[in-house]
Structures are given as structure tokens and as C-alpha cells.
């Protein structure tokens, strides 16, 4: 019998719509994002996928997306664990910056290196910057050296993996249907791990907002079907293109 994992990127946020680098900035969903979360919940119901346990980041766009989707599925009551290790990749000094303006200022190569390279982080953010997170009370219990000032995808994978093994794998192993509501880049890290993608291959991986991605896993936690399956493949394909081209729109 296979194990069931559902990955859900939050619906569109106010800053996704404005084309701003977001990272750890706690931006809310916009109306479109709420509708995407609603549709995500409907897709769960249509596919008879009723989560038994929820794991989310500490950011409200993921938390609210999961709440809306689970409400639709009448599973708002399931046990929930939240952790900073599922947060979006910290975007360093790019947080709050316009993607199109950044592309114009630094050029395509640098822009894409910062957005998608596996191991090159953006410049670090100053801890007193208006978009820094160092003094945020939700991270107060974290040792200062664990509070990032920037992260590349490799950093995200390294901080997400302990959570994957310590918290998510035991729930999967217990036969629970597990919903992970998180972010474009923290989910890219988890998918890279699941599908054993190479460092160069993951550069081309984009995750759309609000469309559940289903992985059936073998007993050894490898995917039955590499890449999993989006519950709305046509919408996912279109949305993946849109994510890829962010920055190019004016
Ligand atoms: O701004 C961000 O935090 C992320 C996700 O929205 O953007 P990108 O897709 O450019 O990595």
C-alpha cells in the first residue's frame, strides 16, 4: 500500500500579484489566492483525498491557504504542526524588491541565478532593514545563527530535511494522509529530495500556486511516480509558465 503526501503551495499573495520578492515577509493572500485555496480544497474532495494531518510554515499565506482548503474539505479539525523549516526561502536583500526592476538593473543571468540557482544566495539583508525578520517574535526562540539573512535553495533543503525526517516521515509511515502547505521554494526543495533531482535540473522546477500536487510514496518514501501528479494538470501547466516568467511582466 502506498503512502499519501499532498504538497500545496499557497494561493496568490498580495506580493505575488505585485511581482515583489517575498521570502520571509509575512504577506497575506489576495482575493485570487483565496479563490485558488478554495479550488485546492475542492480538488482534494473531488479526488477523495482527505488529509489526516497538516504541516505548514509560520507564514500566513500558507496557513490561510491550508485553512481555506481544509474548510472546504470539512477537515479543518485535523492536527496541525507549524514550523519555520517549511518557510519560504529567505530572499535576503531582495525581499520587498520589484522583480521586473531587479531584472532590468542586474540583467537576466544574475536575476535567474538569484531566483533559481541551487547554491548562490542573494546578498544578505541587514537585520534592521524594514523587510528583515531577525527581530520577529515568532523566531525569538531560534538561536541567532539559525535566523537567516539570506538563503539559496541548498540552504532551504538543508533546513527542511530535518523537519521532513523528524515530523513528516513519521506521519506518512503511520499511514496518515499528509498535507504540507508551504511555498514555491520550500516545496522545490522537498520535491528535489523526493525525486532525487540533480542540482542543475532543479533550476527548471517551478511550483504553481494553489494546485495540490499528489505524491504516492513507496514504503521507502520514494515516489511511485516521479514528479507526482497535479490534481488539475492543465491549470498547473499554465501556472508553471507564469511563475517561470515572473519579472518579465511589466
Ligand atoms: O518571492 C518569493 O518569495 C518567491 C515565491 O513567490 O519568488 P520566486 O518564484 O521568484 O522565487
- Output the pLDDT for position 249: 54
**Ligand 1 and 9: CB distance under 6 A:** no
**Ligand 1 and 215: CB distance under 6 A:** no
Task: Write out the catalytic residue numbers.
Answer: 10, 88
pLDDT digits (tens, 9 = 90+) for 112-171: 999 999 999 999 999 999 999 999 999 999 999 999 999 999 999 999 999 999 999 999
- For residue 78, the CA-to-ligand 1 centroid distance in Å is 29
User: φ, ψ for residue 187 (rounded to 5)?
Assistant: -75, -35
Residues 164 and 190 sit within 8 Å (Cβ to Cβ): yes
- For residue 178, the CA-to-ligand 1 centroid distance in Å is 24
The Cα–Cα gap between 16 and 18 comes to: 5
pLDDT digits (tens, 9 = 90+) for 195-227: 999 999 999 999 999 999 999 999 999 999 999
Q: Is 248 a residue whose pLDDT tops 80?
A: no
Question: How would residue 1 be classed by pLDDT, with cut points 50, 70 and 90?
Answer: confident
pLDDT digits (tens, 9 = 90+) for 122-133: 999 999 999 999
Q: Convert 184-212 into a string of H (helix), E (strand) and C (coil).
A: HHHHHHHHHHHHCCCCCHHHHCCCCCCCC
| ipTM above threshold 0.85 | yes
* Among the four given CATH numbers 2.60.120.380, 3.40.50.300, 2.60.40.2470, 3.40.50.1240, the one describing domain 3-244: 3.40.50.1240
Q: If you take atom 10 of ligand 1, which residue's CA is the nearest one? A: 115
Q: Which atom of ligand 1 is nearest to the CA of 88?
A: 3
**Ligand 1 and 246: CB distance under 6 A:** yes
**Ligand 1 and 208: CB distance under 6 A:** no
Q: If you take atom 11 of ligand 1, which residue's CA is the nearest one? A: 115
Question: How would residue 51 be classed by pLDDT, with cut points 50, 70 and 90?
Answer: very high
Could you give the 3-state DSSP secondary structure of residue 206? coil
Residue with cell 514550523: 83
pLDDT digits (tens, 9 = 90+) for 184-193: 999 999 999 9
- For residue 171, the CA-to-ligand 1 centroid distance in Å is 28
- Output the pLDDT for position 57: 98
Helix ranges (DSSP H) in 31-72:
31-46, 60-72
Percent of the chain residues topping a pLDDT of 70: 99
pLDDT digits (tens, 9 = 90+) for 91-102: 999 999 999 999
Spell out the residues 6+ positions from residue 208 whose beta carbon is closer than 8 angstroms to its own: 9, 230, 235, 236, 239, 240, 242, 243
How far is CA 95 from each of CA 89, 126, 217, rounded to the nearest angstrom? 10, 11, 35
Amino acid at each position: 500500500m502506498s503512502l499519501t503526501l499532498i504538497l500545496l503551495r499557497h494561493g496568490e499573495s498580495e506580493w505575488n500579484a505585485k511581482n515583489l520578492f517575498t521570502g520571509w515577509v509575512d504577506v497575506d493572500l489576495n482575493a485570487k489566492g483565496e479563490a485558488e485555496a478554495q479550488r485546492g480544497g475542492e480538488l482534494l474532495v473531488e479526488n477523495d483525498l482527505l488529509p489526516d494531518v497538516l504541516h505548514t510554515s509560520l507564514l500566513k499565506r500558507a496557513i490561510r491557504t491550508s485553512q481555506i482548503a481544509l474548510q472546504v474539505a470539512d477537515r479543518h479539525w485535523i492536527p496541525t504542526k507549524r514550523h519555520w523549516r517549511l518557510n519560504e526561502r529567505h530572499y535576503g536583500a531582495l525581499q520587498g524588491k520589484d522583480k521586473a526592476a531587479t531584472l532590468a538593473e542586474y540583467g537576466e543571468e544574475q536575476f535567474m541565478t538569484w531566483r533559481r540557482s541551487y547554491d548562490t544566495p542573494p546578498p544578505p539583508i541587514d537585520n534592521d532593514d524594514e523587510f528583515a525578520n531577525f527581530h520577529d517574535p515568532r523566531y525569538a526562540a531560534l538561536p541567532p545563527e539559525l535566523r537567516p539573512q539570506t538563503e539559496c535553495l541548498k540552504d532551504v533543503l538543508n533546513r527542511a530535511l530535518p523537519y521532513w525526517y523528524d515530523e513528516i516521515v513519521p506521519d506518512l509511515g503511520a499511514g496518515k494522509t499528509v498535507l504540507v502547505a508551504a511555498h514555491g521554494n520550500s516545496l522545490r526543495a522537498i520535491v528535489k529530495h523526493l525525486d532525487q533531482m540533480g542540482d542543475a535540473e532543479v533550476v527548471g522546477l517551478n511550483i504553481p500556486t494553489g494546485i495540490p500536487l499528489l505524491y504516492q510514496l513507496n514504503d521507502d518514501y520514494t515516489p511511485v511516480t516521479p514528479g507526482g501528479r497535479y490534481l488539475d494538470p492543465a491549470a498547473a501547466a499554465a501556472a508553471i509558465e507564469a511563475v517561470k516568467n515572473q519579472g518579465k511582466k511589466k
